[in-house]
């Protein structure tokens, strides 16, 4: 049964795209489930970090199920659909993509929506829409060019051909490569490390990093100072200072 699964433990939510027989291709129903999970994670004090991965060994996600695209009666309804990439951008918590196979089309865009991208050595990445007569609509041009540079992004978007995990790592599309059976455990170790930090500061760091792409240098400097001041006023910041002085581990509560 096609689904998007949610598991929460140790402050970490794992969202799994669970349609392995179809390479985790997304349907409108799965998009709605993903939106629901994202909103639940935003509202839950038990979630500090989210890991996104795909079920099975072959694919992370190959984007929208092309057969489902004919369900939209006209381009305007397609344009106004519930979009799974937009859903991920609603997430306030840090997001780690654990790319366990093919990340094609919308799957590549989902990867790019993550704050941190990890991948298996057998993964691959592509923006293949041009081979079907269109281009991606989930922000791929902006996100990919900022990630790997305009020329490399042009190669991927204009040819539609896949690049290997090793090439993706060389270009900076992913931060680290793992053997397939070590990918999710590695992602969870990193997630738990981030989850052990002050959660308000972690969410603020995400805001700061995203804003830095859209601001001038001086505006980014000023915005960062204001975010620092907000964090400095929290209970967790006081706890961090106290723990440092008392030479003990801080106990952050997200307030």
Q: Mean pLDDT for the chain?
A: 94
Place of tokens 């305007």: 76
Q: What are the Cα distances from residue 87, in Å, to 84, 110, 160, 171, 194?
A: 5, 9, 24, 26, 22
Burial of 148 (0-12, 13-18, 19+ CB in 10 A): buried
Spatial CB neighbours of 174, under 8 Å, sequence gap ≥ 6: 99, 117, 118, 119, 123, 165, 168
71-95 per-position pLDDT tens digit: 766 777 777 777 899 999 999 999 9
Cα angle 229-233-236, degrees, rounded to a multiple of 5: 115
Give, for all 255 residues of the chain, the pLDDT tens digit. 679 999 999 999 999 999 999 999 999 899 999 999 999 999 999 999 999 999 999 999 999 877 777 676 677 777 777 789 999 999 999 999 999 999 999 999 999 999 999 999 999 999 999 999 989 989 999 999 999 999 999 999 999 999 999 999 999 999 999 999 999 999 999 999 999 999 999 999 999 999 998 899 999 999 999 999 999 999 999 999 999 999 999 999 999
Place of tokens 């978007």: 157
CATH domain 199-246 topology: Lyase 2-enoyl-coa Hydratase; Chain  A, domain 2 (1.10.12)
Catalytic residue from among 46, 129, 203, 226: 129
Please indicate whether residue 46 is annotated as part of the active site.
no
Please indicate whether residue 239 is annotated as part of the active site.
no
| Whole-number Å distance between alpha carbons of 124 and 100 | 9
- For residue 32 the two structure tokens come to 């709605």
Domain ranges of the chain: 3-195, 199-246
| Whole-number Å distance between alpha carbons of 59 and 113 | 17
Computed from CA positions of residues 130, 136, 141, 144, in that sequence, does the dihedral angle turn out positive or negative?
Answer: negative
Catalytic residue from among 109, 176, 203, 226: 109
Cα 2 to chain centroid, rounded: 20
User: Cβ(136)–Cβ(93) under 8 Å?
Assistant: no
Spatial CB neighbours of 57, under 8 Å, sequence gap ≥ 6: 100, 101, 122, 180
Look at residue 139 and give its three-state secondary structure: coil
Domain 3-195 falls under CATH 3.50.30.30: no
Look at residue 64 and give its three-state secondary structure: strand
């Amino acid at each position: 049964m096609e689904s998007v699964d949610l598991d929460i433990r140790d402050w970490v939510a794992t969202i799994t795209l669970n349609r392995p027989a179809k390479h985790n291709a997304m349907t409108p129903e799965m998009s709605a489930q993903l939106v629901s999970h994202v909103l639940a994670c935003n509202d839950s004090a038990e979630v500090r970090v989210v890991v996104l991965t795909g079920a099975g060994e072959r694919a992370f996600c190959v984007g929208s199920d092309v057969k489902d695209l004919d369900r939209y009666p006209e381009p305007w309804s397609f344009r106004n659909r519930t979009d799974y990439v937009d859903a991920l951008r609603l997430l306030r918590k840090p997001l780690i993509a654990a790319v366990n196979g093919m990340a094609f089309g919308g799957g590549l865009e989902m990867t790019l929506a993550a704050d941190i991208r990890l991948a298996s050595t057998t993964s691959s990445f592509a923006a293949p829409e041009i081979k079907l007569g269109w281009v991606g609509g989930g922000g791929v041009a902006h996100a990919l060019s900022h990630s790997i540079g305009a020329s490399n992004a042009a190669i991927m978007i204009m040819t539609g051909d896949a690049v290997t995990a090793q090439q993706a790592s060389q270009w900076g599309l992913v931060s680290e490569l793992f053997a397939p059976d070590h990918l999710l455990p590695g992602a969870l170790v990193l997630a738990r490390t981030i989850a052990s930090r002050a959660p308000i500061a972690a969410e603020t760091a995400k805001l700061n990093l995203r804003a830095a792409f859209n601001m001038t240098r001086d505006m980014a400097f000023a915005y960062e100072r204001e975010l620092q001041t907000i964090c400095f006023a929290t209970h967790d910041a006081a706890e961090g200072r106290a723990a440092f002085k008392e030479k003990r581990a801080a106990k952050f509560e997200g307030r």
